Structure 1
Amino acid sequence: MAGCGSCCAETKRIEDGRWRRALWIALAINAAMFAGEIVAGMAAGSRALQADALDFLGDAANYAISLGVAGMALRWRSRAALLKGGAILAFGLYVLVTTILAALGGTVPRAATMGIVGIIALVANGGVALMLYRFRSGDANRRSVWICSRNDALGNLAVLLAALGVVGTGTAWPDLAVALIMAGLAIWGGVQIIVQARGELVSARGSEDQPQHSLAGRGL
């Protein structure tokens, strides 16, 4: 049994090392993409690109939080997941409000810039999503990272469709529609993470209280 315990501990250590390495790579990619995409989005007048850039920034912060709590007890990882879920939800609400306000402006974004940046972002997010796919079924903290990556890749596909729509219609409505979709994805993803993290916190508290109840029942 001791040998089995040692083997399991070693396997977990290797898995945690891979998890940390994947997070560092994802953090670097997302930070670099935020810097490039926010400039391109503002230059092109694209609400969808700006929303995607802010998503990159939020993901970089989320990966940094995940690195900070990696290896900690479940309750701390769940609390970090709650924080990230709240941040994702807030981002979605922000994009929703700003997109509605932008709809009143009537400026047509530059479709060519949207397309080029959208392709670069899709390659970056697709690579991150594939790298993190193996960790998608972990606790709320790990699942939140996977949900961020999945939403990013879907958002990039939507940006490319928006660019085609802007070319075809000559209006900003495809760009605004994609921004609204990205807001919806963020809101839904944030709610999913918060619900799972709250459940894990309740479970963790129950596990911590159980030994005390058992000892009390024995008169100790």
Structure 2
Amino acid sequence: MFQLPDLPYPYEALEPTISAATMRLHHDKHHARYVAVVNELVANNPAARGPLEALVKQAAIDGQRKLFNNAGQAWNHGFFWQSMTGEYRAPSGALLDAIVAAFGSLAALGSKFKEEGGGHFGSGWVWLVAKGSALAVTTTHDGEGVITEPGVTPLLVCDLWEHAYYLDHQNDRAGFLTGWWDRLANWSFAEQQYAAAAGAGSAWTYPAPNA
């Protein structure tokens, strides 16, 4: 069975941008429900074994939308927790060089990220991804992610579903995105992901299921 991973920081670590109340609701209720539904769907399916990444990809191929949506949401949320930190520092090294090459500056990337996320219609996710050594910003709808795209490594993601920010920011998604980008983006994690995209180390994976 797949597990709900623990947060990599205390519930209150992301305040004031994201409150402890939001984190408890988001992690303990929303993420937990996606994981529970995935386990219900695969309980009697011997073929649905192995890592969550493989399950997401196979569900997409097979057109199993309920499984794809819930497995995708479980994976996206696991990655989202890693994409944030309460101890912000700016990117450096090879990733910063790639940011400057692709966008001109970190500030320009921030504007692009917030513009794409703020302009996304409905629920979904805004991603910073690596395609080889090149960077791009993209959005996905609902439970869709980027791990089904060949050659793409996610570096950071921000949740655009209202349950991610409504308690703290009401309907001000733009304000949430600004606070998230300026204070919570986990560049240490993104640097590790970028190194993995270049073949140095392994990219993050969802915790393996229990036997």
The structure that is helix-richer by fraction is: 1
Q: Which has the larger radius of gyration?
A: 1
TM-score (norm 2): 0.30
TM-score (norm 1): 0.29
The structure that is strand-richer by fraction is: 2
